[in-house]
A and B are shown apart, each in its own frame.
Chain A
């Protein structure tokens, strides 16, 4: 029995603060003055960040690797016993710190960004509810608590995407996100059910200790991991369920930053990393994850090349980066995946907030073809954006370099083809990010009549903090190549069981890094030539394009494909059932029942004349029939 760590019971405070914030801002919705809701909500998230930090140091001081905090016994039926418990270990602490830390910054940023919105109080209530759900998700000590959080973030995502619900297109996007997630959730639920039937418990520690008794590649484990994977694919927007994420950009930009870049979409990666012991037993599933991850990374990056909406570009880049995380997971390098989650949370949140700042400055304009020349108008935004772009492109020593390089080297260990494909994706990423940067901040201003201005401090300070994190976040895990000790990976190693792999020799690594740097430099130069020197502006949507770019700018017709494969047949079936079955069979049948009843009623009503003599006759007849019945039977 592990000794109880003092003060670890503070853990319940972490989700409690955002919940409190949600209740206060949600219930006192109408009474809160301007900014009050934002300040309360931000303070709550900040408080839970501080508590998370305290927990981090408490755990560190205790010398133990994990602690379980049981709040109460939740479900106890027969042999099923599910406590409502939190698991505090290095993995969940990492996620908690990301969520509350980045979350707090985004909340503060939102105070400025949402300043003019009429429903700002609801906005912060929903943001706090999201933070609460997300914390439940990462802190839960069993799959069921995780599932509550999982559904909670899905709900908040739906609410926040459709936050400006007066626009039907936004509602449609919210619905799409919800339905797509639901497909994944179905797999997740089934996975939990199979888990429960296999292990008779849903608690992580018990499952993982029991899993040791299974052979690698056992069919039931493969089944479980595949089903959980379906859930992760839905939540983390991987092929084939990724189309909701770009549409989810309909929500306010801070929402995109918090939910659809930094935290919620990484829930799938967290869940797979959490179940690493199970996934290690299922090589087949891991291979599938590699394929999915790599395909998503490349296809999303390709689509990103031709997007002209600043947020859409970032959305596809998010999908692409999530693909890299999946690739890392598939390679068995779970901690590398989580490391990329961390750095990605920094720079992608920064990118989105920067984009928000740009949109704010441009008065709501999101088309990058109409921007340009913002470098001088909003220098702070420009420099933070630049930092994030360099980070995502993997330029050393920015954070993205360390995490992406880690994944690439793992891919190289696995197979050279994987490495080439992944590197290709990274180059495309670099290209479209710099395309975005150049189009937005360089050249001449192309939108007449706009007067861009730097955003207020409440928005820029979070940008600065995040840019510092984006720049230096990579130093959390300095590989041995640079005389580091891979702190982050070692830190996670107690909670996540990565597959053992032999280290690459340092000379190979240096060669790889130099090669990729060279290519990145070329790509950046090429992008500079195209978009700054020649100042080529992407073509208007209507103009004819060559086949391939048409394919890309139409997102590989994936939405159209879904329409053809799923929507059309369903629509056809619905039409058929509506026109043929419903209208000619069911409806008339139901109507006929009603009409017949009414007719019989009209007939029987004639018996009800109110005439006593007749009633007497009826009574006697009844008695007669009754006696005859008794006699016969």
Chain B
């Protein structure tokens, strides 16, 4: 099987780290940047995935499948989160006719 080359033999782990940090920062910037809740949720997905990528990379570099199982679990959580989050968006749209996050300003009460 050795003829199947793997990225891990060529690419240093640091590159994956930088890539995943970049994606995470972009996702976070998007969360702060946008007013549309749907877009914010998408940016959250982006952040999830950057963490996933890092987990998978570490898993490969360690030759340990546990990391990939963790990615699997994160997907589960992400799916549940999206389901609930989107239903909240639907409800909000139904109630205030908008998905603008600035309308959610009652958190001080």
Contacts and interface: CB of A to CB of B under 8 A. Distances in A.
A613 B108 contact: no
Nearest to B40: A616
A617 B29 CA distance: 10
A611 interface: yes
Interface string A465-500: 000000000000000000000000000000000000
Contact of A616 (B31, B105, B109): B31
Interface in B15-53: 28, 31-32, 35
A612 interface: yes
A609 B105 contact: yes
Interface in A315-340: none
A76 interface: no
A615 interface: yes
A610 interface: yes
Contacts of B62: none
Contacts of B28: 620
Interface residues of B, number: 12
A608 B35 contact: no
A610 B106 contact: yes
B101 A612 contact: yes
B107 interface: yes
Interface string A294-324: 0000000000000000000000000000000
B102 interface: yes
Contacts of B96: none
B104 interface: yes
A628 to B, nearest CB: 15
Contacts of B101: 612-613
The SS class assigned to the A binding surface is helix
Interface string A605-633: 00011111101110010000000000000
A613 B31 CA distance: 9
B108 A609 contact: yes
Contact of A610 (B31, B35, B108): B108
Contacts of B109: 610
A407 B8 CA distance: 113
Contacts of A620: 28, 32
A359 to B, nearest CB: 73
A611 B104 CA distance: 7
B107 A615 contact: yes
Contacts of B32: 613, 616-617, 620
A54 B101 CA distance: 93
Nearest to B37: A612
A600 B31 CA distance: 30
A611 B109 CA distance: 11
A613 B102 contact: yes
Contacts of B106: 610
Interface in B79-109: 101-102, 104-109
A613 B35 CA distance: 8
A450 to B, nearest CB: 78
Nearest to A614: B105
Contacts of A617: 32
Contacts of B35: 613
B6 to A, nearest CB: 31
A323 to B, nearest CB: 77
A616 B107 CA distance: 12
B31 A611 contact: no
A610 B31 CA distance: 17
Contacts of A613: 32, 35, 101-102
B105 A612 contact: yes
Contacts of B108: 608-610
B43 to A, nearest CB: 11
Interface string A112-146: 00000000000000000000000000000000000
Contacts of A615: 107
B31 A612 contact: no
Contacts of A612: 101-102, 104-105, 107
B97 to A, nearest CB: 18
A182 B78 CA distance: 74
A422 to B, nearest CB: 86
A610 B107 contact: yes
B107 to A, nearest CB: 4
A237 B35 CA distance: 86
Nearest to B34: A613
Nearest to B108: A610
A609 B107 CA distance: 8
Nearest to A615: B107
Interface in A586-615: 608-613, 615
Tell which of A608, A613, A617 has the most Cβ of chain B within 10 Å.
A613
A611 B32 CA distance: 12
A609 to B, nearest CB: 6
Contacts of B105: 609-612
A609 B102 CA distance: 11
A620 to B, nearest CB: 6
9 contacts: A610-B105, A611-B102, A612-B101, A612-B104, A613-B35, A613-B101, A616-B32, A620-B28, A620-B32
**Leading 5 A-B pairs by shortest Cβ distance:** A610-B108, A610-B107, A610-B105, A608-B108, A612-B104
Given A611-B105, A612-B105, A620-B28, 9 more contacts: A610-B105, A610-B107, A610-B109, A611-B102, A612-B101, A612-B102, A612-B104, A613-B101, A615-B107
